[in-house]
Structure 1
């Protein structure tokens, strides 16, 4: 099946798909863990943790649980809007594309694989906890999303800002970001001089950096996560800038090549590839985040959800979200 045929069939099938599932059907959904292959209902999605298991007082004090809300439920139900025939066609087309490209590029080409990290309400709560925004509707100036993917999560956060810059190493995903109309889209695999790059485009970004930066589920998919942390710090306004960092736990890093091959990153982080969420979080804090000099404002746990297909209604990984403040220079 050709890519264009698969996309056309998906559009046609969506038009005649089952009516949107209601909240009453939510707990009938089949969610699959992409790490352990367990299958469960949405009620089992984890937002809580046992903060007493943290040896670090900093982590114990910072943990504050979020709750699943209607926007998250809506994302979980989205897979049922697209009929099984369309899902199967897209899956076959993706398999064919992956013979010559990465999964990321294949999903970008087909317009599938949307992700959900947190809802608009949850994002606002995280920003408010760091003092980045108040309880009202005021917006900050500049937001940077690093490795923004298709931009769905970027849009959720961008509502709180006047201007948004999104970066992405995937050409296909960068195209999708441009289609969403963000102020600046940089197709790049580095943010070494992202502030300068944006300013050279004539944008009115302050030379001392962004108000808020997000790096969501990136540290386990890049070659140099330790270097990234220092680059994120330089991209933020010193003393006031806020970093929202999401990392999949347990930590199982690899780097996906343009041809779909997977290799080990050159920079390693001492974090367990199995075990409890709390143990994984503690290792990431001690061995990756704290050494970079960030102040921890809030810690949360959220499911990292991928839209479903003809096999399962959604796929999920377990995320730790660190809300961090940049140190003064």
Structure 2
């Protein structure tokens, strides 16, 4: 029995080292996270529009990954190096100014966008999510299990299904208080029916879904659908959800850049909204669509978003939404946070968050 245990432990250790080594080699020049498998540098001159994560943006020389600790210890194995780098990355995260996530350059905004901008800050619920992510990333054996499971399951399942089955990779955009503030600034009514389209595991919308009487959702992943049921969501068909009556709030949180036909999704939302309802929408900028279910991972419809800076792309998107029958009522900037892994406690992308109201489209 002891011999079997030693052999099994050695196999696990060697496998983990190989996974960590390969992961390290593949990610030296590009940022990988569970939000987006193809994240990479978009605009090197505008560092806050880069898809680089903190690990890559703050550590300038990737060749210095194997470095001495106090000039005495030099981690050589992949596992030891990963543990050392995690400690260093977590320290950098602690020193990072989180208010940067919520700032915009108002000098680049039109008067309309300035007047409708809602300044948010990291509140207690946001900090609780970050704290929980830090704790989970420190569970060494759990993270090793995730690495092993992902290495096997990725040959059969999508990343979304894997995360749903493992119960990991939860996201965070708005806290309950932040959502209430944004909806309040838009003059939106609470109560009635809310539907979260492409809800994932429901963690993003559940933080403010209690503001409404009924919470419904759509999701194509079977694993995620099970998670939604446990959180009290009523599941709707992904094709006919908009035919089930009017909704006071339609949520499309980081969906438009992950679905094949975003224009079609917006037309469905327009048809499903009550006259006094609102569309709560989040979109990662810079706009870089990635569709998990298409062979080439490209959408069949691409949104006409132009501009280089965050503010320019916001302005372009708001103009497009007006053509689709939506008027901006309030908007903000927030981080699209994701639970971390063995390398880093959490990751983020820059999210633009909007509250739109339906308007008549002039023919």
Task: With the length of structure 2 as denominator, give the TM-score of the two structures.
Answer: 0.71
> Is the counterpart of residue 69 in structure 1 residue 129 in structure 2?
no
Measured in 1, the distance between the counterparts of 2:131 and 2:160 equals 23
Measured in 2, the distance between the counterparts of 1:296 and 1:91 equals 42
Higher relative contact order (CA 8 A, sep 6+): 1
1:209-262 CA-partner distances (Å, limit 9, x unpaired): 101111000010011111211111111002x1111110000000021028xx55
Measured in 2, the distance between the counterparts of 1:281 and 1:313 equals 29
> Per-residue deviation at 1:143?
0.6
Alignment of 1:164-203 (within 5 A): 164-182=215-233, 184-188=234-238, 190=239, 193-196=240-243, 198=244
Alignment of 1:105-184 (within 5 A): 105-133=161-189, 139-182=190-233, 184=234
- Kept in 1, the 8 Å contact 2:195–2:217? The answer is yes
Measured in 2, the distance between the counterparts of 1:157 and 1:243 equals 14
Measured in 1, the distance between the counterparts of 2:184 and 2:114 equals 19
1:92-148 CA-partner distances (Å, limit 9, x unpaired): 212221111111011011111100001111011112112224xxxxx5111111111
Secondary structure of the corresponding residue to residue 353 of structure 2: strand
The one of 44, 58, 68 aligned to 2:112: 58
Aligned Cα RMSD in Å?
Answer: 2.1
Q: Which has the larger radius of gyration?
A: 2
Give the match for residue 269 of structure 2: 232
Give the match for residue 311 of structure 1: 343
- Kept in 2, the 8 Å contact 1:84–1:309? The answer is no
Task: With the length of structure 1 as denominator, give the TM-score of the two structures.
Answer: 0.78
In structure 2, the CA distance between the partners of 1:157 and 1:262, relative to structure 1 (3 Å rule), is farther
Give the match for residue 28 of structure 1: none
> Is the counterpart of residue 247 in structure 1 residue 283 in structure 2?
yes
How many residue pairs match? The answer is: 273
> Is the counterpart of residue 46 in structure 1 residue 101 in structure 2?
yes
In structure 2, the CA distance between the partners of 1:314 and 1:262, relative to structure 1 (3 Å rule), is farther
